[in-house]
Chains A and B, each alone.
Chain A
Amino acid sequence: MIIILLAGMIVCAVACIVLGNLVKAGVAMAATSAILSIVMFILKAPLAAAFELSVCAGLIPVIFMSTISMINVKSKEEIEEMKKERKKRFFLFPVFLIILGAVVLAVMWPHIVDFSSSYIIPAFTRNVRDILWNSRQIDLLGQIIIILAGVFGVIIFFKESVEE
């Protein structure tokens, strides 16, 4: 089951970059997030899965679609030209995938074996809320600051566009 889900996730990720239409690419990205959230549920991470499903498979594609809808549509000739160019770009994709995958695995493999054999900690009884509120308050503070920074950033962009 989980192997099928991982294969589906990889197929959706490839579709994200190969599909010419940006809307279709956005939908493929949402599908990748949805499959990742199912994998998280299976690996017993329900809270993170709920976040992933609602934010990454829901909110981010909406932001993408709204941005794409504000961008002008290209002419048919331009689209045909882009399609030809895209085919050339992905010619080396399988070769790159195999070479980079082999290099990364060769470099990481000893560390992965170490991690899987020696870093196993006895079952934890603490839950996510306990960790977030008691052990990692600095993370929460950082998250609040990042959200505020994002809100101010978006406000500034919209302010500039209104002035134009």
Chain B
Amino acid sequence: MSLLFVIFIISVVLIFAIGIYSLLVTHNLMRILISIEILTKGVTLLLIVAGYISKNMAMAQAYVITVIIIEVVLMAVATGLVLGLFRANGTLDTRKMNR
């Protein structure tokens, strides 16, 4: 196993940990979306590294394209939802939306 592969795996784990920590501590809806985006970056990097190691880059690219399309649709719908919630509640803080 090459050193480069180990570095890639550690980077993926770090990026994933950053996203999960941000999801756990934040209460702002826009920041939650940013955390999901960071988690998706980790998944994308892992897919590409897996394709590079298994010498099956074409399949990895096909999966990454699918992930990117799902990601952009999710973001478009989620930002619309956030905007609607802001107009209804006047805040993006999830703690103040319990009414």
Contacts and interface: CB of A to CB of B under 8 A. Distances in A.
Interface of A: 2-3, 6, 9-10, 13-14, 16-17, 22, 25-26, 29, 32-33, 36, 39-40, 43-45, 47-48, 51-52, 55-56, 59-60, 63-64, 67-68, 70-72, 89-90, 93, 96-97, 100-101, 104-105, 108, 112-113, 115-117, 119-124, 126-128, 130-132, 136, 139, 142-143, 146-147, 149-150, 153-154, 157-158, 160-161, 164
A131 B83 CA distance: 38
Interface in B3-60: 4-5, 7-11, 13-22, 25-26, 28, 30-31, 33-35, 37-38, 41, 44-45, 48-60
B68 interface: yes
Interface of B: 1, 4-5, 7-11, 13-22, 25-26, 28, 30-31, 33-35, 37-38, 41, 44-45, 48-62, 64-66, 68-77, 79-84, 86-87, 90, 92
B72 A55 contact: yes
Contacts of A36: 41, 44-45
Contact of B37 (A60, A90, A116): A60
Contacts of A123: 55
Contacts of B16: 104
A37 B84 CA distance: 32
Contacts of A17: 18, 21-22, 26, 31, 34-35, 38
Contact of A157 (B53, B56, B59, B80): B80
A18 to B, nearest CB: 9
A68 B13 contact: no
B87 A164 contact: yes
B38 A47 contact: no
